Chain A
Amino acid sequence: MSAPLARTLTRPAIPAIRRVPWTLLVFLLMLPLPWIGSRYDTFLATQIAIDALFAVSLNLLLGTTGLVSFGHVAYFGIGAYVCGILMKTYGLPFVVALPAAGLGAAGFSLVFGFFCVRLTKIYFAMLTLAFSQIVWAVCFKWDAVTGGDQGIADIPFPDMHWMDAIPAIGGLAENGRFYVLTLILVALSIAAIGQISRSPFGRMLTAIRDNRERAAFIGLNVRAYELSVFVVAGGFAGIAGALYGIFTRGVFPDYVFWPQSAQVMIMTILGGMNFFWGPPIGALVLDWLNQEITNYTQYWPFVLGTILLVLLFALPGGMLGGLVRLGNFVQRQMARRHA
């Protein structure tokens, strides 16, 4: 047997980098933060974790399926309000409110998505924006239920007394415990989304992204797939929103305003929308930059706009895309040297 052929037969089917349990690793890496970092660090890390989930859910639409949604914040907001209302107004426990928020968001994305997936490209984007603004308008005006423009404040933390028993975690204060809880929920959600992306269902989605017509020609029910991923993405965005509402101890119509959709899209693309871990990295960088820069100046939007410009013109693949390009370049240089 020739050497190249032998090498092909013995090469692993899944490259090594894919077989690493990244979600578990990242979770373990971020877990010790409340013990080694400051309260401020924990605060920021909780925000990053929530935004990472939000961005990963958007990337299911954007990077995996090629659906450009400008209204993803609607489901984030619905999750936030459902959880907030259930916990504050009705006093339900977190363990009920969180799934309800996810299901509520998924339900709305089913209804809205049904109309959206009948359209493509710019019309799809505009309809998602329209629905998102409808959600905002309802949150803004329905004083009785959503608190109107004042929102709902003083949302309670979930009951975390059951953590007293756990050795290390029992010693943490409330926000440390909430961080651990958030990290667990976000890690589980991201792992689930990862499973979905790698499954045959996920493969069909990338087929749709690459060429919608061809996917339809080979027999895929494109609309059904798009609607399904829309619902899944919406549901996970709702979970992120629910966590955010508790994190900030309140839900306000501002959370559902359309620039927030743009913000999460920027996060996704900053990290690299062609990579599964692009969006979390984008969330990390953007949230950290946001905190740092707003310490010095009020002109964060200007900085964000400039970052976006640099991204669009110099780094279209995002940070991970840039890293991959760098890695390829280095590899080529080394190969040249060995030749």
Chain B
Amino acid sequence: MTISLIAAQFLSGLTTAMFLFLIASGLSLVFGIMRVLNFAHGSFYMVGAYLAWQVVTWLQPGPGTFWIAALAAGAGVALLGGIVERLLLRHLYGVDELYQLLFTYALVLILGDAAKFTWGTDQLSVHRPPLLAGSLQFLGTTVPTYNLFIMLLGPAIAIGGGLILTRSSAGRLLRAAAYDREMLGALGANVGALYTGMFVISSFLAGLAGALITPIESVVPGMDVQIIVDAFIVVVIGGLGSFWGTFWGAMIYGQTLSFGILAFPQFSVFSVFALMAVVLIVRPWGLFGRPLR
């Protein structure tokens, strides 16, 4: 157990954690404000990855290609999310929560096959942007610069998002909607527009996360199902609806995965679900969540 091994695992865990935070933050916020647990969030992530690959394939390779592709992917998924929310989801708000959950699951099925139909079943990958193609030495281990970028992007979004939530008027509306949406509507805020906006932002984050992961992991069918379970675990640990909870939940989960594989390679798959079960048994609302009324 050398320093460099620990450092390597820690940094790898940190990268995983920041990706998970990017993905899970949208999921958590949508649940906190709209009380909808969006199974299709993983599908949005997958569509973002495929869109990024598609844009990169269409454009001439160049210094800015990757970044354009990432933003385009985020925007594309945001548009998809907006359409889904406005046309379909909003008709289910008054209905049983179960129906909303099943609706998002129907989206998972549909988007999964749509992606398979459009892009086939081959593994696709995207090259790292030339700006971040190098690597650094840190405590005896090599860290790709791209991973470092992700490790910095996570906290940046966390701090930025936290500031928006606490300091801006839009953020205040969002927090109010999470607390008591009926009252907020009675006070005159356009709760419908708020919901659409929230869903669009959440989809953007998912799509962006999908785009950003393409240089590290290949794009395959089934990545939607894989990531959504991880995202669930993160939001459970951190607390459904809590932004900072998702951040720390992602940190805990990322490092558990990273060091858990070292310690118990046989049981890593088992241990993450055991962790989720333990949190739900002992403290269902996670680290920072509020007990559901």
Contact = CB atoms under 8 A, between A and B. Distances in A.
The yes or no verdict on A and B being binding partners is: yes
A299 B277 contact: no
Nearest to B121: A298
Interface residues of B, number: 41
Contacts of A262: 102, 105
A305 B107 contact: yes
Given A137-B273, A312-B92, A122 B97 contact: yes
Contacts, number: 104
A134 interface: yes
Given A299-B116, A302-B110, A308-B106, A126 B280 contact: yes
Q: Is the interface of B mostly helix, strand, loop or mixed?
A: helix
Given A265-B102, A305-B109, A309-B103, A138 B270 contact: yes
A265 B109 CA distance: 14
A5 B280 CA distance: 55
Interface string B104-124: 011111101110110000000
B273 A130 contact: yes
Interface in B274-293: 274, 276-277, 280-281, 284-285, 292
A316 B95 contact: yes
A259 B266 contact: no
A49 B159 CA distance: 55
B58 interface: no
B37 A308 contact: no
> Chain A contact residues (Cβ within 8 angstroms of B): what range?
35 or more
B109 A304 contact: yes
A266 interface: yes
Contacts of B98: 62, 68
A269 B98 CA distance: 10
A304 B117 CA distance: 15
Contact of B108 (A115, A125, A138, A305): A305
B167 interface: no
B93 interface: no
Contacts of B29: none
Interface in A301-338: 301-302, 304-306, 308-309, 312-313, 316
Given A122-B240, A302-B114, A305-B109, A312 B102 contact: yes
Given A68-B98, A299-B116, A127 B109 contact: no
A124 B274 CA distance: 15
A133 interface: yes
25 contacts: A62-B98, A122-B240, A126-B236, A127-B284, A129-B232, A130-B273, A130-B280, A131-B273, A131-B277, A134-B273, A134-B277, A137-B269, A138-B270, A141-B266, A262-B102, A269-B102, A301-B112, A305-B105, A305-B109, A308-B105, A309-B103, A309-B110, A312-B99, A312-B106, A316-B99
Interface of A: 62, 68, 115, 118-123, 125-127, 129-131, 133-134, 137-138, 140-141, 258-259, 262, 265-266, 269, 299, 301-302, 304-306, 308-309, 312-313, 316
Given A122-B240, A309-B106, 7 more contacts: A123-B284, A126-B232, A137-B270, A141-B267, A305-B109, A308-B106, A313-B88
